């Protein structure tokens, strides 16, 4: 509920209602209001009158009280005070808020949390500290009311002590989080308000020592000793003096926890070398001046600066990561360059020639804050120095890596290349000349997934009036871009006040930036109104005075700070009605800017929109009596991410597997999706290659990890665990005290690094955050962590979790258990038809063999893994895919010296499955014969069933239908359920019956074909193996297509397509899509032929050997819809495929349909008849009754007005061989022809 009355009692009394500030004339009325607000319940009129007017008579006191109550009721709402003849009270339930209540509530809650063992929330404590503007009711003194004075004094002491207590809690909280600088600043505030408090001094000095600021600690100690001597005549406690005598003790605990090996960290290093010509003494003096000029600039930009004999090295991202480190470094370098070139160096009489060499490079380094080593090995620093030497004083030289992080913000030109010997690569060098204008910085970006939020902003704009919107969300969700897109779309004028992390301590820093731009406009005639120019001048004067005198603290609530009021007025002048004021990234706002922001929210400019963007941790500085529209952004859905990826790719192809990975890894964060996509496009990476964090995200993610301070080692160890982790697991694996680990987890929760999954388990908020923490550790640290976790988990994990153990043993570098659990994980995934996961595990297992020496055992193990790997690749990408073929060829190279050993059966099986794609069906038959020999030697029924299937399948495609039927029937008979397994990727009974059904159809056994198909599908469903079910369903669609049973094809292909898409198997997906398109074409959909043509184009990359089958479906559809042009193209394509693959079982149909389409085209009989005769000849050679009937009926209908007796006799013989199939169109057509011309055949 919004408060109708807000009282600010800590400091000078101030009052606000929902309509604005309140003013009450008399101190007695103010005192009465304060007393009633804090002392709840009813009070007698006599007691109140006596407290405020003790010297007055009872009647006079009551009359004075009545007049004060009249003033209060007039200023407040009528129902704010409830009164009767004798008693009265302030109705808190009517909407009363006091800063005292908020202050004590926060502290009470945090103390309760502390008592329960939880970690206090530094943000809430800091909010409570900010509420304490000064002593209770400061300046409100009633000399003639001693009882009231006593009450005020008691309250003042109470709240002052609680304020000191809050400062102490905040100091401890900052230290716990590792933010020593914030702790020092808070301790300084504590010492200022309690200069004789020994605890405050002890805390401040201890933190200074712990932070390594020993010189300052000694100075502060001398100041403390002098103060005690002057005020109390005493000396500091011995424990305080001991801090300076043993400066290392404050860091011993942290040193024990900190790994001496350091950590991996992305650094942007700026080298700044000065080249001075002159006498040695003059050179030394000028270099001192140059360093004094540049060093403050570099430190102000957030760099850790190290002095060299001839210059400076500035490290950005050390010891803590910073967002936009590359931009900070290059901007600082340009400032240094311009500062040096803009002035003379030397003494007053003469100046020396000076040149500054500036180079900036970004890379991964091993850093150790504990040992004060930013770049162990100097790899990044060395390249920065080389870049500076190449710049030669002409500007700032940057590497291609750094340039990639800068975007289009700067003007650049190529400057050659240099060699990075540590990596053995060439580094492209560019010269930065300066920043572009803002117009040139704007790059086209795609707006995706934020339509709802956009509609809310547009609706608010069209409603008009005052509107305040707070757009809040995690980093990378597109807060600023949403506001920018809104303004651009509606073409509204806007002022952007951009807050920056590096300037958060600079008062009014977003206004300073904006006003500098305004001043540049003011230099142009008529660019700014006179009133705006006057305000700018006044603000400049006030800021200069403030800088000289020390910037004052925030003004009183209800009053308006002078500079803030001037900024408010400047915005009113500069932003027209209907315009937008954008406060961007206000979580980085300095205290003075927060005050102005609160003023703008509480006193909005008429007919203007105020849009504020912030991260979730932002605590609004405005009062809760104002209306603010909250737009909380969450992750985008997968469809929006896909749109965004394609927009970033801008027409370039993105591999489907990479696209899935980007969607999975980005988890709906648009910035992550954009940068992952750019990284993929820049490297053209192999989809199977391991991912690494894009350099453009390193700073952002590591800044989040570094925000947890001393809890960072726990975050890093937790990242090694994997997906989820528990406190128990961390305690067991690390050996650290549970209390410290619990405290670290609480910090990580508060900093939004991790989330709770349930009562015990935690997980990183985002996959990339976990990867950032993981990759920030050195290889040795990761190996040690994996080894600890592997030992701990192997003894505790139940069966069925090989994936976890595989991850840890691989990370620990333990070959034998790593391969063991990788294979278990791969086979588990394969059994669940999770082929992508299976492929990943097999690939990881094979990597171990590339590191091992040769030996028969190693070769046999590698062969076995390659076989299983290849089968999964076939399932995932297709039998003819490049990955599968290459895997089997590698296996064949290993296997050939070993002969026909039955143990090699899986290898030759893999070669057989892909041979039709990289050779032809004659090769598949040769390999199938080898499989039969191996299976016979092994005496394994399961292998024998697979081998018969392989030879029967090969016979079928070669057009040897009788041999195919015989082998496939043998294969189905050899199948024994007790010996069956799915190690070869599919169930042998399913595959034998599926191909047998189509082979039987070609031999005229139509009823047997339907029965075999039904048994194949039923068995696949019964065993619950989805890949085998797909095989059966796709085969069944082919059988029913041959029978022209459209509805059955539609039903089966729909089920197959759904399963194929769920499993992500492109081979079966394309086959099912072709069947669906055939159904649509037959039902009259004109677009279906194009869909089929598209499938035909895609299949060679998946399994070239099956391309003729898809072309046959396309050809058949063209025939049925009588599309002559497409039909002729399809038959030409099909006959070419038959020649290449030797898939002769389809040759007759391609020849028949080509002749038929030539007839439709109007070609003479001399053109189309030979094709029909050739089709009949081929069908007879294939010994297929139904194919012969198809060719005969077409030949008689289109080329023989009077049938030849031989044709009719052949037709009768073929009809006699057909078993069942009375409803087939070729059977009905043949029966009609025989019935019509049978008498003539008899007479002849």
CA 1197, CA 86: separation in Å to the nearest integer? 117
The stretch 780-792 carries a mean pLDDT of 88
CA 671, CA 677: separation in Å to the nearest integer? 10
* Nearest in space to 609 (alpha carbons), one of 756, 476, 770, 496: 496
Task: Give the residue, 662 or 763, on which the prediction is more confident.
Answer: 763
Supply the mean pLDDT for the chain: 84
Please compute Rg for the chain using Cα positions. 41
Task: Dig out the tokens for 394 from the structure.
Answer: 């002409």
Is pLDDT above 70 for 543? no
pLDDT tens digits along 745-774: 988 888 888 999 888 899 998 888 999 899
Report yes or no on 111 lying in a domain: yes
- Assign residue 402 the CATH number of its domain: 3.30.70.1230
Same domain? 51 vs 89: yes
CA 46, CA 48: separation in Å to the nearest integer? 6
Letter string b/e over residues 813-843, b meaning 16 or more CB atoms within 10 A of that residue's CB? ebeebbbbbbbbbbbbbbeebbbebbbbbbb
Report yes or no on 1183 lying in a domain: yes
Position 437 scores a pLDDT of: 46
Report yes or no on 964 lying in a domain: no
Same domain? 74 vs 119: yes
The stretch 67-94 carries a mean pLDDT of 85
Tell me the CA distances in angstroms from 736 to 118, 215, 709, 729, 731, one per residue in order: 18, 34, 17, 11, 6
The fraction of the chain above a pLDDT of 90, given in percent, is 29
Give phi and psi for 366, each to the nearest 5: -95, 120
Task: Give the residue, 259 or 1173, on which the prediction is more confident.
Answer: 1173
Report yes or no on 791 lying in a domain: no
Same domain? 388 vs 467: no
Among the listed ranges 113-117, 165-169, 917-921, which one has the minimum average pLDDT value? 113-117
Report yes or no on 884 lying in a domain: no
pLDDT tens digits along 1028-1061: 999 999 999 999 999 999 999 999 999 999 999 9
pLDDT tens digits along 378-408: 899 999 999 999 887 788 999 999 998 887 7
Report yes or no on 827 lying in a domain: no
Is pLDDT above 50 for 57? yes
**Domain end (from 440, 464, 498):** 440
Same domain? 428 vs 503: no
Task: Give the residue, 573 or 330, on which the prediction is more confident.
Answer: 330
- Assign residue 455 the CATH number of its domain: 3.40.50.300
Q: Are 581 and 575 in contact (CB under 8 A)?
A: yes
Cβ contacts of 1111 within 8 Å, gap of 6 or more: 1096, 1130, 1133, 1134, 1137, 1146, 1150
Position 522 scores a pLDDT of: 53
Among the listed ranges 476-490, 1167-1181, 1226-1240, which one has the minimum average pLDDT value? 1226-1240
- Assign residue 170 the CATH number of its domain: 1.10.10.10
Position 248 scores a pLDDT of: 45
Same domain? 10 vs 111: yes
Same domain? 490 vs 623: yes
Report yes or no on 1136 lying in a domain: yes
Same domain? 466 vs 349: no
CA 187, CA 170: separation in Å to the nearest integer? 9
Q: Are 914 and 866 in contact (CB under 8 A)?
A: no
The stretch 1174-1200 carries a mean pLDDT of 93
Same domain? 403 vs 467: no
pLDDT tens digits along 565-591: 888 888 888 888 889 999 999 988 888
DSSP calls for 802-849: HHHHHHHHHHHT-HHHHHHHHHHHHHHHHHTT-HHHHHHHHHHHHHHH
Same domain? 332 vs 282: yes
Q: Please give the DSSP secondary-structure letter assigned to residue 711.
A: G
Same domain? 7 vs 156: yes
Q: Are 274 and 345 in contact (CB under 8 A)?
A: no
Residue 1131 domain boundaries: 1066-1142
pLDDT tens digits along 1086-1139: 889 999 999 999 888 788 888 899 999 999 999 999 999 999 999 999 999 999
**Domain end (from 1142, 1177, 1194):** 1142
Same domain? 485 vs 628: yes
pLDDT tens digits along 1071-1097: 999 999 999 999 999 889 999 999 999
Report yes or no on 398 lying in a domain: yes
Partnered with residue 223 across adjacent β-strands are: none
Position 552 scores a pLDDT of: 39
Is pLDDT above 80 for 819? yes
Among the listed ranges 237-246, 754-763, 906-915, 1231-1240, which one has the minimum average pLDDT value? 237-246
pTM metric for this prediction: 0.62
Position 858 scores a pLDDT of: 74
pLDDT band at 254 (very low <50, low <70, confident <90, very high): very low
pLDDT tens digits along 427-482: 999 999 776 544 444 445 678 888 899 999 999 989 888 899 999 998 888 899 99
Same domain? 1161 vs 1138: no
Q: Are 985 and 872 in contact (CB under 8 A)?
A: yes
Is pLDDT above 70 for 1021? yes
What's the structural domain count of the chain?
A: 5
pLDDT band at 688 (very low <50, low <70, confident <90, very high): low
**Domain end (from 415, 440, 465):** 440
The stretch 713-736 carries a mean pLDDT of 89
Is pLDDT above 90 for 1174? yes
Please, where are the H alpha helices in 41-178?
45-52, 58-75, 99-115, 122-131, 146-176
């Amino acid at each position: 509920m919004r408060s109708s009355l807000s009282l600010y009692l800590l400091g000078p009394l101030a009052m606000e209602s929902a309509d604005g500030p309140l003013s009450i004339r008399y101190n007695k009325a103010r005192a009465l209001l304060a007393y009633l607000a804090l002392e709840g319940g009813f009070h007698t009129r006599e007691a109140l009158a006596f407290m405020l007017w003790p010297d007055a008579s009872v009647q006079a006191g009551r009359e004075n009280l009545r007049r004060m109550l009249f003033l209060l009721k007039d200023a407040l709402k009528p129902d704010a005070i409830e009164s009767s003849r004798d008693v009265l009270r302030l109705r808190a339930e009517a909407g009363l808020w006091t800063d005292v209540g908020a202050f004590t509530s926060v502290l009470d809650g945090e103390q309760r949390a502390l008592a329960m063992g939880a970690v206090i929330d530094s943000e809430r404590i800091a909010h409570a500290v900010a509420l304490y503007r000064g002593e209770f009711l400061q300046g409100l003194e009633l000399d003639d009311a001693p009882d009231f004075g006593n009450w005020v004094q008691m309250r003042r002491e109470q709240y002052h002590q609680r304020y000191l207590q809050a400062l102490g809690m905040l100091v401890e909280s900052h230290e716990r989080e590792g933010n020593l600088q914030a702790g020092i600043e808070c301790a300084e505030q504590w010492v200022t308000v309690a200069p004789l408090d020994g605890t405050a001094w002890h805390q401040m000095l201890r933190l200074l020592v712990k932070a390594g600021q020993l010189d300052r600690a000694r100075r502060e100690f001398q100041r403390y000793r002098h103060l005690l001597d002057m005020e109390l005549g005493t000396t500091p406690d011995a424990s305080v003096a001991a801090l300076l005598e043993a400066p290392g003790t404050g860091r011993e605990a942290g040193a024990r926890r900190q790994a001496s090996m350091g950590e991996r960290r992305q650094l942007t290093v700026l080298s700044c070398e000065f080249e001075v010509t002159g006498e040695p003494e003059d050179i030394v003096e000028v270099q001192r001046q140059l360093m004094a000029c540049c060093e403050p600039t570099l430190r102000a930009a957030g760099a850790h600066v190290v002095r060299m004999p001839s210059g400076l090295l500035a490290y950005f991202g050390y010891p803590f990561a910073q967002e936009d480190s590359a931009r900070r470094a290059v901007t600082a370098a340009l400032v240094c360059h311009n500062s040096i070139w803009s002035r003379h160096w030397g003494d007053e009489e003469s100046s020396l020639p000076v040149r500054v060499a500036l180079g900036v490079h970004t890379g991964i380094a091993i850093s150790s804050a504990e040992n004060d080593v930013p770049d162990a090995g100097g790899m990044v620093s060395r390249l920065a120095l080389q870049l500076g030497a190449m710049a030669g004083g002409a500007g700032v030289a940057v590497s291609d890596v750094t340039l990639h992080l800068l975007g289009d913000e700067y003007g650049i030109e190529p400057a050659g290349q240099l060699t990075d010997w540590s990596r053995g690569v060439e580094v492209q060098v560019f010269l930065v000349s300066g920043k572009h204008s803002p117009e040139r910085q704007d790059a086209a970006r795609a707006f995706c997934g934020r339509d709802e939020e956009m509609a809310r902003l547009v609706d608010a704009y069209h409603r008009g009036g005052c509107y305040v919107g707070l757009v809040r969300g995690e980093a990378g969700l597109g807060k600023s871009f949403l506001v920018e897109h809104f303004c651009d779309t509606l073409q509204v004028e806007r002022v952007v006040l951009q807050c920056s992390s590096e300037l958060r301590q600079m008062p009014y820093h977003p206004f300073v930036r904006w006003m500098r731009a305004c001043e540049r406009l003011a230099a142009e005639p008529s660019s700014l109104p006179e009133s705006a120019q006057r305000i700018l001048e006044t603000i400049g004067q006030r800021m200069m005075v403030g800088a000289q005198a020390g910037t004052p603290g925030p003004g009183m609530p209800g009053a308006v700070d002078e500079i803030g009021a001037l900024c408010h007025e400047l915005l009113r002048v500069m932003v027209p009605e209907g315009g937008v004021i954008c406060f961007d990234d206000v979580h980085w706002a300095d205290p003075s800017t927060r005050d102005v922001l609160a003023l703008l929210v509480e006193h909005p400019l008429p007919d203007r929109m105020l849009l504020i963007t912030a991260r979730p941790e932002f605590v609004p500085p405005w009062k809760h009596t104002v209306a603010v529209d909250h737009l909380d952004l969450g992750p985008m859905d997968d469809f929006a991410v896909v749109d965004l990826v394609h927009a970033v790719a801008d027409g370039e192809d993105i591999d489907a597997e990479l696209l899935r990975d980007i969607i999975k890894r980005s988890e709906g964060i648009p910035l992550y999706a954009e940068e992952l996509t750019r990284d993929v496009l820049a490297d053209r990476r192999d989809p199977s290659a391991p991912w690494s964090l894009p350099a453009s995200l390193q700073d952002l993610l590591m800044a989040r990890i570094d925000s947890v301070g001393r809890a960072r080692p726990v975050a890093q160890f937790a990242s090694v665990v994997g997906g989820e982790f528990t406190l128990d697991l961390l305690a067991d694996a690390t050996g650290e005290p549970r209390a410290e680990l619990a405290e670290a987890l609480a910090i990580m929760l508060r900093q939004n690094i991790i989330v709770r999954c349930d009562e015990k388990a935690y997980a990183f908020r985002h996959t990339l955050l976990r990867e950032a923490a993981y990759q920030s550790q050195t290889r040795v640290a990761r190996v040690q962590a994996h080894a600890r976790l592997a030992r701990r988990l192997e003894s505790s994990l139940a069966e069925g979790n090989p994936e976890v153990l595989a991850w840890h043993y691989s990370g620990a570098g333990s070959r034998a258990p790593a391969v063991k659990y990788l294979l278990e994980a791969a086979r588990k995934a394969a059994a669940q038809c999770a082929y992508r996961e299976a492929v990943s595990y097999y690939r990881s297992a094979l990597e171990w063999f590339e590191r091992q020496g040769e030996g028969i055992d190693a070769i046999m193990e590698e062969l076995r893994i390659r076989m299983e790997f290849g089968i999964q690749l076939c399932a995932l990408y297709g039998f003819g895919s490049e990955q599968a073929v290459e895997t089997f060829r590698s296996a064949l190279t290993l296997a050939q010296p070993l002969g026909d050993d039955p143990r090699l059966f899986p290898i030759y099986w893999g070669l057989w499955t892909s041979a039709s794609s990289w050779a032809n069906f004659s090769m598949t038959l040769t390999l199938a014969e080898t499989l039969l020999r191996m299976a016979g030697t092994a005496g394994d029924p399961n292998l024998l069933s697979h081998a018969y299937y392989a030879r029967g399948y090969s016979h079928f495609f070669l057009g040897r239908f009788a041999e195919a039927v015989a082998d496939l029937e043998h294969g189905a008979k050899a199948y024994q359920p007790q010996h069956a397994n799915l190690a070869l990727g599919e169930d042998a009974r399913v595959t034998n019956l599926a191909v047998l059904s189509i082979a039987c159809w070609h031999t005229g056994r139509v009823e047997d074909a339907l029965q075999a198909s039904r048994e194949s599908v039923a068995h696949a469903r019964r065993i619950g193996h989805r890949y085998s079910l797909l095989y059966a369903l796709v085969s069944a669609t082919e059988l029913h297509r041959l029978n022209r049973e459209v509805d059955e094809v539609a039903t089966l292909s729909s089920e197959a397509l759904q399963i194929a898409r769920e499993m992500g198997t492109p081979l079966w997906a394309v086959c099912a899509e072709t069947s669906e398109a055939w159904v649509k074409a037959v039902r009259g959909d004109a677009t279906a032929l194009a869909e089929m043509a598209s499938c035909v184009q895609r299949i060679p990359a998946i399994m070239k050997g099956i391309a003729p089958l898809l072309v046959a479906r396309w050809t058949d559809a063209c025939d049925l819809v009588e599309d002559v042009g497409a039909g002729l193209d399809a038959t030409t394509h099909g006959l070419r495929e038959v020649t290449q693959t030797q898939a002769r079982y389809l040759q007759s149909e391609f020849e028949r349909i080509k002749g038929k389409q030539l007839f439709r085209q109007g070609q003479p009989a001399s053109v189309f008849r030979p094709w029909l005769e050739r089709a009949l000849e081929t069908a007879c050679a294939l010994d297929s009754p139904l194919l012969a009937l198809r060719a005969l009926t077409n030949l008689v209908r289109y080329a023989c007005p009077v049938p030849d007796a031989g044709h009719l006799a052949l037709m009768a013989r073929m009809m006699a061989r057909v078993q069942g199939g009375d409803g087939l169109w070729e059977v009905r057509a043949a029966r009609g022809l025989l019935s019509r011309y049978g008498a003539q055949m008899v007479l002849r």
